[in-house]
Amino acid sequence: MSEPIIALDNITVSFKQKKRTITAVNNVSVHIERGDVYGIVGYSGAGKSTLVRVINLLQEPTSGSVVVNGTTFFKHDANTNDKIRIKNNDLRLRRQKIGMIFQHFNLLNERTVTENVAFALEHSKLSSKEKAQKVADLLALVDLSDRADNYPSQLSGGQKQRVAIARALANDPEILISDEATSALDPKTTNQILALLKSLNQKLGLTVVLITHEMQAVKEIANKVAVMQDGEIIERGSLLEIFAQPKEQLTREFIETATNIDKAIETVGHQPIVHNLAENAVFVRLSYVGKTTDQPLITRLFRDFNVTANILYGNIEVLQGTPVGSLLVILQGTPQAITNAIAALNDNEVDVEKIKGGQSL
């Protein structure tokens, strides 16, 4: 495997307060490959912001090592107390290659769109003409050329975030850190910004670190996911692994919010057919990944086992080119027939979770 562009190893960040110490990040290691869109998901307070601020040493860790693009930014061994830290001048240059965008955009309100983007080029060696061209190119890239002379107060949230993205890209970064950048935006604008980030990832080869409390955002563009809780990464994997086979309860919760299956179970649960479930019936959730979807499984249940399947809700997502499906179904038949049908589903790599009924199975 190629060398990771970001290698965080055994990172711990503790904040000493008067009476207690808060460990915001607890011995976390994470390696991000060049070209990844790496989603870090967790509830507020999980330690996501603190962890990503370590990447460019906006937050110095208490211990652990930070290597970006092969350069050691920081290394502190808590046992030996040996410490290496990159020199400030060098850090300043390298930080230019790590862009950041935030939930509240952080624009200068008294400057125009052009001036906000040009601000990031203050220390660049480009001539004024080259700077002006660069800013114009960046605004074209984020589709805001027609707003060059506007002030932030004249822009929508999505447009403000586009300005912030243009500014973050001014020094041709290799990494873009997005800290809840879509959390203040409506769903449609969120999708537009996520699509922009994905296209920058593909067009420029930009590595994106996306931290968010919304699994929906991660689902749209990430190829890898880590789930954080209480300062630790509790689960990680490819987007497909995380969605298809979540192991931790918290991961399941995040996925359910992204697929709306939780709402569907509640809504369908109120329908009379589920509410007054027949004695020979069981209400189940079927989950499957990949090619299983090509097979006429539901038809087979009746043909081979004499079990009827009444589909009440279905959701199929295509994640990284692979279909991932969830169906809410009532299976009806004799207990033995249903048991056999479920075994056949499992044999075909369809996961069956009982939601209601089927005590005799």
Segment contacting ligand ATP by CB under 6 A, of 47-55, 152-160, 244-252, 291-299: 47-55
Minimum CB separation of residue 356 from ligand ATP in Å reads 35
Binding test (CB under 6 A) with ligand ATP, winner from 48, 76, 160, 162: 48
**Chain residues 161-220 in contact with ligand ATP, contact rule CB under 6 A:** 180
Minimum CB separation of residue 194 from ligand ATP in Å reads 18
Minimum CB separation of residue 79 from ligand ATP in Å reads 24
Question: Which x/- pattern over 126-165 shows residues binding ligand ATP (rule: CB under 6 A)?
Answer: ----------------------------------------
Binding test (CB under 6 A) with ligand ATP, winner from 35, 45, 237, 290: 45
Binding test (CB under 6 A) with ligand ATP, winner from 12, 49, 223, 332: 49
Q: Which is nearer to ligand ATP, 8 or 24 (CB)?
A: 24
Binding test (CB under 6 A) with ligand ATP, winner from 7, 11, 30, 46: 46
**Strands of the sheet with 308-319, listed across from one edge:** 308-319, 322-332, 281-289, 350-357
Question: Which x/- pattern over 1-40 shows residues binding ligand ATP (rule: CB under 6 A)?
Answer: --------------x------x-x----------------
Q: Which is nearer to ligand ATP, 42 or 99 (CB)?
A: 42
Return all residues near 47 (Cβ < 8 A) that are at least 6 apart.
Answer: 13, 24, 25, 26, 28, 228, 230, 231, 232
Q: Which is nearer to ligand ATP, 31 or 213 (CB)?
A: 213
Work out whether 63 is an interface residue with ligand ATP (CB under 6 A): no
Q: Which is nearer to ligand ATP, 44 or 249 (CB)?
A: 44
Minimum CB separation of residue 164 from ligand ATP in Å reads 17
Residues found near ligand ATP in the complex (CB under 6 A): 15, 22, 24, 42, 44-50, 180
